[in-house]
Structure 1
Amino acid sequence: MRLRNIIILTVLVPLFLILLVFSLVAIKSLEDNVRSKLQNEVQIITHAIGTSLSYALERDTPEALQESLHSAFSFHRIYGAYVFDTNGQKIYGLGLGEELFKPEDIRKVAESGEGLGAYRQHERWNYYSALMPLTTPSGETQGVLQVNRLNTGIENYTGFISIVAVLVFTFGAAGIVLTIWWGFRHYIERPINRLLGVMEQIEKGDRSYRAAIKGPVEYRKLSMALNGMLDAMAAKDADIEARQQKEIELEQRLRKSKKLAELGVLAAGVAHEIGAPLTVINGQAQRLARRKTIGDDERAKLDRIRNEVERIVVIVRHLMELGRQHNVEKEPCRLTDIVANARELVEDELTAQQAHLEVDLDDPDATLMANAQQLTQVVTNLLQNALQASPGGRIRLRARRHDGELHLTVEDDGPGIADAEKSQVFDPFFTTKPVGQGSGLGLSMVHRIVNDHGGSIGVFDSALGGAGFDLTLPLKETQPTV
């Protein structure tokens, strides 16, 4: 059912019915009031002349009886006055309406001693007639008085007035309904159809369609609200798309982390197997270096062997650490302390290379549940990589809080990292440095520590022109991602 029909049936029709009932009740009340007034007037007239008539009957004086009856006609619209005996026989009377009551009715009034009033019709005339017993001072009934009063115009036409009122009300109500129907169609239904048209276009896939801001104030507000909702939905869709892209990136990082963990386990096994032979080589080279029979050239070669063995031992230790899942002992630690410790560790290199480090922390007092020593190692490694990529250049360390996480970035203005190499920077033994200047395990260890803390790390192109590393850590206790 259409909205306008619902409004007509549920609002207007009950309202008109209530008004109709109220009008009929008002007309009925008017009619009852007129009738009551008529009855009271007749009763007053009857009692007014009843006393003198009783006296005339008791004295049996016809002249007084006639005079009293004539006095009744001095009242407005009194058309008949009669005196009957106790048997219902007329003694004397004047005017119209003598036969309004039967003798039996008159005898009953005489016997009961109580008056009677009723509406009667006689010869196309409407009367209100009252019967009153005429009693002596001792209480004996000696006759009955009948007074007839002719109905007024309004009394005769109250029924006709009711019919006319109902007809007028019906036609008026029909006119009101038609007017409201036209106004609803023009000012309500058409704007709604315009809004429905907008929604249908959007349903078909045209998300750029917007409602026209016109019409009554309410519809302009509704159109603006609809457009605002569509704009919000568009923004939400863009946000969802961005989140989905982020989830894809996180999934890629997760696969990367699993791959790194598998490589770390394999590397740790290999490292364990070569650890013992390296110890033997180092010990034998040290014993040979102590002999006095060898020359300086041989001794220098033995020292070089020992240095390379120590380098291998460090790599082996890193490999073993890389392949082991740590139970990180966490405690509350302040971000500013971690950054300060890392900066202190690279301060000499910063000074030596005359590099500029910018530190921007939106909340230096931010507290993490983490291993402060390991996080200091992470920040230190990232700063050292930036120094090696941009000697004497510009380095920026920033930290921001967002949705219960800490986002820390380290950027430089060096040559950056090629797109083809970004997916490999966290792999063990991958390095862009010349041979002998890096083991390729620093960023792998960083990745491992971050994962142990339940965070993530990625690489991006910095606005400074070089490479940037984005580190995300939870501010609350969480489980490792791998």
Structure 2
Amino acid sequence: MRLRNLIIVTVIVPLFLVLMVFSLVAIKSLEDNVRSKLETEVETISRAIGTSLGYALTRETAESLQETLQSAFSYNRIYGAYVFDLEGNEIHGLGLGEALYDDAERQSVVEAGEMRSDYHDEEGWTYFSTLMPLSSPDGKTLGVLQVNRLTSGIETYTGFLSRVALVAFGLGAAGIVLGIWWMFRRHIERPLSRLLKVMERVARGERRQRAATQGLDEFRRLGLALNHMLDALAEKDADIEARQHREIELEQRLRKSRKLAELGVLAAGVAHEVGTPLTVIEGQAQRLARQDGIGEDERRRLDRIRGEVERIVTIVRQLMDLGRQHNVEKEWLALDDLVQDARQLVEADLEARDIRLEPVLPDPPVLLLANGQQLVQVLTNLLRNASQADDVRHIRLAARHRDDSLCLTIEDDGHGIPEADRTRVFDPFFTTKPVGQGSGLGLSMAHRIINDHGGSIGAFDSALGGAGVEIVLPLEDTTP
């Protein structure tokens, strides 16, 4: 059963029934009171004139009898007064209702010696009539007095008033029920329906739905409480989603770390095996370059051999660094100083291609616990990569706080990183540069350094139109 119908059935209807019974009892009491007053008045009038009529019958004077009967009509609504002898014959009478009683009824009053009262209907009129024995001063019964009063006025309309009251009560009750129904529907049912719809939409997955905070104070407070609950759920969902992303990132970092560790083991073996031959090749090339009998062309070829050997040695060392477990020595450093050092190292590359570097750093300067040399190496590597990309004229290096971490972004306005290559840019030996112009280990080294600092690094599409790299570093020491 709906709440509206339940209230009507359990509260309104019983209340109206009680009021209706009370009204009927009140009307009935009024009717009885009116009738009682009517009967009392007629009986009093009958007794008042009965004594005078007894004296008049004793003296047997018609004039005094007539005067006494006429005096009865001075009372309100007395419509008939008659005097009968002991045999039931009329001695004298005035007004209406003579035949209300028969001779037997009059004779019974004489025999009983007591007054008799009753209601009678005659020719569409209702009378209240009394029969009273008339006695002489010595107590002898001489005749019977009949007094008739017409029951007009309120005593006649009490029944009609009862019916009118019932009809009015019914109409009033219907109006009240209709008003309560309308008020309930407008101020209770509709707000509840709106709240229910919001809950149903939230249950279907529309977590952005919120309840309207208007209307009655109770519903406004209920809407605010529901919105606060939904906001708390949204925060919990966002926190769970962020944790899931962090777990995914951590898993990816662990996979990459294992890959680099495996690569480092392989590189260590390779370095051990090729180290001696490379030393011999470099030494022989150096000895041949010092001889006086060779020409300039041969000397250039020997210098190139020595350069390529040195490049191989550098790559092998980088591979070994990728796979090693590093104990990072950290100290409190100002981010502004690290950015300035990296900027000085790439300033020549930026000026050569007329590239504008835009630093956007927090004020006051941020302090972080890190290895300055390694972070400068990461920033330098990222800035140099951005400056070497095609059609880059603007690089922006920005930093901002994110909870208890520092977020660094380096963006450019070049062509960006293809979607297919975005997940591979930190893999060893992956590069988009021509052969001989890059080893593909720079971003892998940056990933290893950031990972050693307890942070994360990733690529994204820059708002400037090109590539973007995001670095997240903890502001507190996370070394276990």
**TM-score band, normalised by the shorter chain?**
0.5 to 0.7
- Are the equivalent residues in 2 in contact too, given 1:354–1:392 (CA < 8 A)? no
Any unmatched runs of 5+ in structure 2? 8-179
Partner Cα distance (1:300, 1:215) in 2: 90
1:214–1:299: structure 2 CA closer, same or farther, 3 Å change rule?
Answer: closer
**CA positional deviation for 1:194:** 4.7
1:350–1:204: structure 2 CA closer, same or farther, 3 Å change rule?
Answer: closer
Deviations 1:40-84 (A, max 9, x none): xxxxxxxxxxxxxxxxxxxxxxxxxxxxxxxxxxxxxxxxxxxxx
1:268–1:414: structure 2 CA closer, same or farther, 3 Å change rule?
Answer: farther
**CA positional deviation for 1:190:** 5.5
Identity %: 63
Deviations 1:94-135 (A, max 9, x none): xxxxxxxxxxxxxxxxxxxxxxxxxxxxxxxxxxxxxxxxxx
- Report the residue type matching 1:295 in the other structure: G
Deviations 1:418-457 (A, max 9, x none): 1111111111111100011111111111111111111110
**CA positional deviation for 1:189:** 7.8
**What is the SS of the residue equivalent to 1:313?**
helix
With normalisation by structure 1, the TM-score equals 0.56
- Are the equivalent residues in 2 in contact too, given 1:333–1:368 (CA < 8 A)? yes
How do 1:29-40 residues align onto structure 2 when only pairs under 5 Å count? none
Q: What residue number does 1:462 align with?
A: 462
- Are the equivalent residues in 2 in contact too, given 1:409–1:469 (CA < 8 A)? yes
Q: What residue number does 2:222 align with?
A: 222
How do 1:355-434 residues align onto structure 2 when only pairs under 5 Å count? 355-363=355-363, 365-390=365-390, 393-434=393-434
- Are the equivalent residues in 2 in contact too, given 1:390–1:413 (CA < 8 A)? no
**CA positional deviation for 1:239:** 5.8
The reply on whether 1:350 has 2:328 as its aligned counterpart is no
**Larger CA deviation: 355-364 vs 268-277:** 268-277
With normalisation by structure 2, the TM-score equals 0.57
> How many residues are paired up?
308
How do 1:42-121 residues align onto structure 2 when only pairs under 5 Å count? none
Q: What residue number does 1:475 align with?
A: 475
Partner Cα distance (1:206, 1:346) in 2: 51
- Are the equivalent residues in 2 in contact too, given 1:353–1:391 (CA < 8 A)? no
- Report the residue type matching 2:200 in the other structure: Q
1:246–1:207: structure 2 CA closer, same or farther, 3 Å change rule?
Answer: same
1:476–1:292: structure 2 CA closer, same or farther, 3 Å change rule?
Answer: same
1:375–1:211: structure 2 CA closer, same or farther, 3 Å change rule?
Answer: closer
- Report the residue type matching 1:352 in the other structure: A
Q: What residue number does 1:205 align with?
A: 204
Partner Cα distance (1:225, 1:369) in 2: 43
- Report the residue type matching 1:362 in the other structure: P
Q: What residue number does 1:290 align with?
A: 290
1:377–1:205: structure 2 CA closer, same or farther, 3 Å change rule?
Answer: same
Partner Cα distance (2:227, 2:197) in 1: 10
**What is the SS of the residue equivalent to 1:376?**
helix
**CA positional deviation for 1:354:** 1.3
**CA positional deviation for 1:391:** 6.0
Deviations 1:318-347 (A, max 9, x none): 122222111111111110110011111111
**CA positional deviation for 1:292:** 2.1
Partner Cα distance (1:395, 1:203) in 2: 44
Any unmatched runs of 5+ in structure 1? 6-181
Q: What residue number does 2:84 align with?
A: none
**CA positional deviation for 1:417:** 1.3
**CA positional deviation for 1:219:** 2.0
**CA positional deviation for 1:476:** 0.8
Q: What residue number does 2:18 align with?
A: none
Deviations 1:363-412 (A, max 9, x none): 45211111111111111111100111146611110011111111101111
**What is the SS of the residue equivalent to 2:348?**
helix
Deviations 1:213-237 (A, max 9, x none): 5652232332244245435534653
**CA positional deviation for 1:358:** 0.3
- Are the equivalent residues in 1 in contact too, given 2:392–2:412 (CA < 8 A)? no
**What is the SS of the residue equivalent to 1:478?**
coil
- Are the equivalent residues in 1 in contact too, given 2:428–2:441 (CA < 8 A)? yes
- Are the equivalent residues in 2 in contact too, given 1:355–1:391 (CA < 8 A)? no
Q: What residue number does 2:12 align with?
A: none
Q: What residue number does 2:312 align with?
A: 312
**CA positional deviation for 1:251:** 3.0
